[in-house]
């Protein structure tokens, strides 16, 4: 389904060119893959050669990534719990501790009330976990 046009008329040169290019780009899967490959190649070339672009990209990625360095105790608690579940020391239940809804284990979140005790968690579904964070 084509995106809505910015221009209302749909008859001007700019609108016609936009529609033509969109149809051209989507007309063949090979063309689409080739264009993606060219964009990827240009991205990596910029990454290797342009230090100004590289710094801007790093700054943009820093904003996007979670603040892992600023919360080391939270990260340690997460990793300790993840490793304990993987090793079988902690077993995930089948239901949420608050609403008791049966949830597949992949959708069950371990909530740490106290990050100094990484294996003491409350197992919550996604909805209850969001409520818990908004409440605190």
* Tens digit of each residue's pLDDT (9 = 90 or more) over 19-68: 887 787 777 778 878 888 888 888 777 777 888 888 888 888 777 766 66
Q: Is the pLDDT of residue 106 over 80?
A: yes
> What is the average pLDDT score of the chain?
83
- Give the confidence band of 5 by pLDDT, cuts at 50, 70, 90: very low
Q: Exposure pattern of 58-81 as b/e (b: 16+ CB <10 Å)? A: eeeeeeeeeeeeeeeeeeebbebb
Which DSSP state fits 111? Answer: E
Mean pLDDT score, 62-79: 77
Q: What is the pLDDT of residue 67?
A: 61
| Interior angle at CA 78, CA 60 and CA 89, nearest 5 | 155
Beta bridge partner(s), residue 111: 122
Q: Which domains does the chain have, with CATH numbers?
A: 13-64 (no CATH), 72-135 (3.40.1800)
Rama region for 12: left / alpha / beta (φ>0; ψ in -120 to 50; rest): beta
List the one residue out of 84, 88, 92, 98 whose CA is nearest residue 126: 98
| pTM for this prediction | 0.51
Nearest to 120 by CA among 132, 110, 131: 110
């Amino acid at each position: 389904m084509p995106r809505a046009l910015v221009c209302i008329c749909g008859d001007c040169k700019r609108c016609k060119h936009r529609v033509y290019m969109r149809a051209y780009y989507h007309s063949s899967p090979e063309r689409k893959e080739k264009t993606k490959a060219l964009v990827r190649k240009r991205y990596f070339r910029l990454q290797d050669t342009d230090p100004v672009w590289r710094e801007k990209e790093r700054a943009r990625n820093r904003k996007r990534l979670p603040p892992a360095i600023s919360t080391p105790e939270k990260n340690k608690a997460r990793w300790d719990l993840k490793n304990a579940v993987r090793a079988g020391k902690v077993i995930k239940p089948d239901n949420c501790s608050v609403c008791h809804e049966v949830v597949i284990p992949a959708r069950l979140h371990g909530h740490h009330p106290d990050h100094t005790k990484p294996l003491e968690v409350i197992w919550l579904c996604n909805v209850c976990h969001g409520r818990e964070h908004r409440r605190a």
